[in-house]
Structure 1
Amino acid sequence: MAASGSHVQVKLFTKQSQYSVPDTPFSVPDNAGPKELCSLINGLLKESATFLSSLIDFDFLINGEFLNVSLKSHIQAKNIPAETVIEIEYLEQHPAPQPEDSLIHNDWISCLEGNLQFILSGCYDNTVHLWTTKGESLTIIPGHSAPVKCVSWINLSEDDPVSEFISGSHDQTLLLWKWHRDTNEVDCVCVCRGHAASVDCVSVEKTGRKICSGSWDSLLKLWSTDADANCDVPESEQRPSKKKKTAAPKIQSRVPLLTLSGHTEGISSVSWLDQTTVCSASWDHTIKLWDMEKAEVKSSIQGSKVFLDLSYSPHNHLIVTGSADRHIRLWDHRTSEGAIVKSSFTSHRGWVSGVSWSPNNSNHFISGSYDMLMKLWDMRSPKAPLYNMTGHEDKILAVDWSIPDLLLSGGADNHLKIFQQKELSG
């Protein structure tokens, strides 16, 4: 590292113990940036006889924010006194996600959700698709009479051969399905009726006993997954389940346990925060938190544009949203004073149609947009995404990060893209 010009004192530390260096302050040129700091760390590791098969790329954090400029520029931007010893955390750079597969459908893919080794996808040809994460098509499930707009697993266990999932549609219904993995047969066991417009979003409470749906009719509805809950007389018509199915039982029609009004336009996304709290996003520019036991709004967050999707992280208790103004925003719903928008992320050039938190990393999330790109973000780097993932030839309509090592996107090009990604420790 060059020794000319002004210098600053820095103290380097890491949570990744295999890359630890002495914690004594170093004097480095103030025009040093991430590249120069990376060379310094690798040199120190080499001097300490740490075995490295190759040079390691590192990212650098100052007060929880990624360093993307020179130290001098950062010091000036943050008004840091010249005599300050700057503490810099370094961590191994997140590896680039790798394209794994592309699963072709017959129409637009509006929704998708992974779980264990399986993926559900909903299609504009009125069908639900069931895939393995290796790209094998297990079955195509008819049943809806209009485009499928949302899907979600209710339960899926490696120990139980019978799994359940739910689908919602433009036909104003939700269908509850049982999948027998041993025989690969799928049965529709219940039709949930009550919405007066397209069912655009659905979320299953953690125990799998309750479901919340949101609709273009601006209403939220609460449903039970219990077999005998709120059932009407059996359906007179037979909804097909799987082509080889025989002697189908009567399909019951279910009514909601609860209907909640408060939004003035269609509801685009819904998520359970805990067993009694639901968060919803709407085309009416608001996010609402609902107390499902008291059947009332707990709080309402006013935005400036249409909300197209939201995702809640149980790890950091933050909500990330995608909007029609091309921005992604990070919200802290627990804040009662001051700005509850913690950060804004601006990189997409079209509507942000989907967002999804990492299931096991409190800093990472993905977004998908009408600009045909899926992006991987670290919330500590709001100015730029970690990576752009290309491949779609039309707008992205949905993204999902339910499976830790797989990033999923579905689009109007009829393709479900799968990207493999590796989480680093620390």
Structure 2
Amino acid sequence: MDIDGEAEENSRRVQVRFVTKLKPPLKAPPTSIAIPPNLTRLGLSTLVNNLLQSAGNPDWKLEPFDFLIDGELVRMSLEKFLLAKGISAEKVLEIEYIKAVAPRKEEEPSFHDDWVSAVDGSDPRFIVTGCYDGLARLWKASGVCTHVLEGHSDVVASVGIINPEGAEAVTLATASKDRTLRLWKFDTEEPINNPINIRAFKILRGHRESVQSVAAQKSGDMVCSGSWDSTINLWRTNDNTDGDLVSIKKRKVNDQADESQLEGEAMSTLVGHTQCVSSVVWPQHDTIYSASWDHSVRRWDVETGKDLTDIFCGKVLTCIDVGGESSALIAAGASDPILRIWDPRKPGTSAPVFQFSSHTSWVSACKWHKKSWFHLATASYDGKVMLWDLRTAWPLAIIESHKDKVLCADWWRGDSVVSGGADSKLSISSGIPVL
């Protein structure tokens, strides 16, 4: 019997207390216990599950947990983490546990006729997708398409819900490689057995090249668009002024009928980028952010049209989103595998405050979770969607539901991630306990 080895193992134990903000029955007893220092996240999760089961929960079902020490997620053995952070193991160590952020379910995919190039999950009632076949579609659930938006003559590169959440009549904007944007209106509450084909009430013309991205002002009064012509255009969204009626031929089965549509022009143009404006977001009433192939992120004053901030990163930028702490952090993906995050409130904003590099190809989409300061999702040409937490450098979860390049991704209903790609399908990964 190796008494010396056993004594050494006992002496190397760490006194810990598990705490949580989770509600019963997810609260473990607050007493301190001695545990081996070589435990990893899996071992700690097993331990907490055993504590919960022994605390009067005989029918307890195993729950995966993540662990925070001093506000940082543990992604190595406890011993290595304490050593790396210079944390003493002499006193009782307080470890907070939270639900592990990872999908619990993969819904059946929703198939399209071509690559899925755009997705918007900002309304909990439905998902909007844009496709290389020139159509946009509304999905109320996995495989349930309720509306098909017809009219574009080329790829629908971007889609955006315009009106405030919860409005009965929905207004959408789509941007296309046919150089136009289109505005659509429809009622989501009407009973539908088969997909309804609808046409835009307004066509927005003015860009000289493909329109790559569209974003709506929170009030819904305007949208902005980024284009391959290096400009950002601002457009009004109303359907009764600021446009000329044009006659559009609409083919019917037996005859031809004229349909009237409004045609709008840009109310202003933001000039400054020198290459394709790949992505735009409109997080505050008077502020637009843009990312470009000219390697820059720019912040624009809507009223004056002035470029207020330039951040250069030395790489072609493909996507941008603003969120996180105080809705102030700028996340952008690029033509390398790195997701960069800047905090413009700090001096020297040209240097990212975070860089995540687990992808192996272009980052095609990045989206902050609307209710979390820490969480965001990315999509990549490497075929993966990744979930991130700013409190650790490693992805929380890797979603591999696509068999080809992932071109777009978004959060939906707070606990799901929706994504589309070159495998022509919309995927829904659900049951993600972010909050």
Same fold (TM over 0.5): yes
1: distance between equivalents of 2:31 and 2:138?
55
Aligned residues of 1:205 and 1:272 also touching (Cα < 8 A): yes
Which amino acid is the alignment partner of residue 298 of structure 1?
Answer: L
Equivalent in 113, 131, 148 of residue 123 of structure 1: 131
Q: Match for residue 178 of structure 1?
A: 185
Aligned residues of 2:339 and 2:355 also touching (Cα < 8 A): yes
RMSD of equivalent CA atoms: 2.8
Equivalent in 351, 354, 369 of residue 343 of structure 1: 354
* Higher deviation after alignment, 149-158 or 341-350: 149-158
Give, in angstroms, the shift of residue 201 of structure 1: 0.2
Distance of aligned partners of 1:97 and 1:282 in 2 relative to their CA distance in 1, 3 Å threshold = farther
Q: Match for residue 28 of structure 1?
A: 35
Q: Match for residue 151 of structure 2?
A: 143
Give, in angstroms, the shift of residue 229 of structure 1: 4.3
1: distance between equivalents of 2:150 and 2:411?
25
Give the unaligned 5+ runs of structure 2. Answer: 1-5
SS in 2 for 1:251: strand
* Higher deviation after alignment, 241-250 or 293-302: 241-250
Equivalent in 1, 11, 16 of residue 10 of structure 1: 16
Which amino acid is the alignment partner of residue 4 of structure 1?
Answer: N
Equivalent in 201, 211, 214 of residue 199 of structure 1: 211
Aligned residues of 1:58 and 1:91 also touching (Cα < 8 A): yes
Distance of aligned partners of 1:23 and 1:211 in 2 relative to their CA distance in 1, 3 Å threshold = same
Aligned residues of 1:101 and 1:419 also touching (Cα < 8 A): no
- Cα deviation, 1:400-423, whole Å, max 9, x if unaligned, reads 214324321111122222222242
2: distance between equivalents of 1:291 and 1:333?
15
* Higher deviation after alignment, 64-73 or 400-409: 400-409
2: distance between equivalents of 1:417 and 1:242?
34
Equivalent in 63, 69, 72 of residue 70 of structure 2: 63
1: distance between equivalents of 2:296 and 2:160?
23
* Higher deviation after alignment, 323-332 or 198-207: 323-332
1: distance between equivalents of 2:124 and 2:50?
41
Which amino acid is the alignment partner of residue 186 of structure 1?
Answer: I
User: Equivalent pairs: percent with the same residue?
Assistant: 34
Aligned residues of 1:188 and 1:239 also touching (Cα < 8 A): no
1:7-406 mapped onto 2 (5 Å cutoff): 7-18=13-24, 19-23=26-30, 25-50=32-57, 53-81=60-88, 83=90, 85-114=92-121, 115-155=123-163, 160=168, 162-181=169-188, 182=190, 184=196, 186-231=198-243, 233-235=244-246, 237-238=247-248, 240=250, 249-313=259-323, 316-317=326-327, 318-337=329-348, 340-383=351-394, 385-406=395-416
* Higher deviation after alignment, 409-418 or 37-46: 37-46
Give, in angstroms, the shift of residue 209 of structure 1: 0.9
1: distance between equivalents of 2:226 and 2:108?
31
Give, in angstroms, the shift of residue 396 of structure 1: 1.1
- Cα deviation, 1:228-270, whole Å, max 9, x if unaligned, reads 4432x322x5165999999654222211121111111111111
Aligned residues of 2:115 and 2:421 also touching (Cα < 8 A): yes
2: distance between equivalents of 1:298 and 1:340?
17
What TM-score, normalized to structure 2?
A: 0.87
SS in 2 for 1:91: strand
* Higher deviation after alignment, 175-184 or 189-198: 175-184
Which amino acid is the alignment partner of residue 20 of structure 2?
Answer: T
SS in 1 for 2:68: strand
Aligned residues of 1:310 and 1:320 also touching (Cα < 8 A): yes
- Cα deviation, 1:53-104, whole Å, max 9, x if unaligned, reads 2343321112222112122211221233454554321112235342212222
Distance of aligned partners of 1:241 and 1:187 in 2 relative to their CA distance in 1, 3 Å threshold = farther
* Higher deviation after alignment, 199-208 or 343-352: 343-352
Aligned residues of 2:383 and 2:402 also touching (Cα < 8 A): yes
Aligned residues of 2:383 and 2:403 also touching (Cα < 8 A): yes
Give the unaligned 5+ runs of structure 1. Answer: none
2: distance between equivalents of 1:319 and 1:239?
44
* Higher deviation after alignment, 295-304 or 176-185: 176-185
Aligned length: 420
Give, in angstroms, the shift of residue 163 of structure 1: 2.1
Distance of aligned partners of 1:402 and 1:336 in 2 relative to their CA distance in 1, 3 Å threshold = farther
2: distance between equivalents of 1:177 and 1:246?
22
Give, in angstroms, the shift of residue 343 of structure 1: 1.7
- Cα deviation, 1:24-72, whole Å, max 9, x if unaligned, reads 5544333233233334433443454356523433211122221121222
What TM-score, normalized to structure 1?
A: 0.89
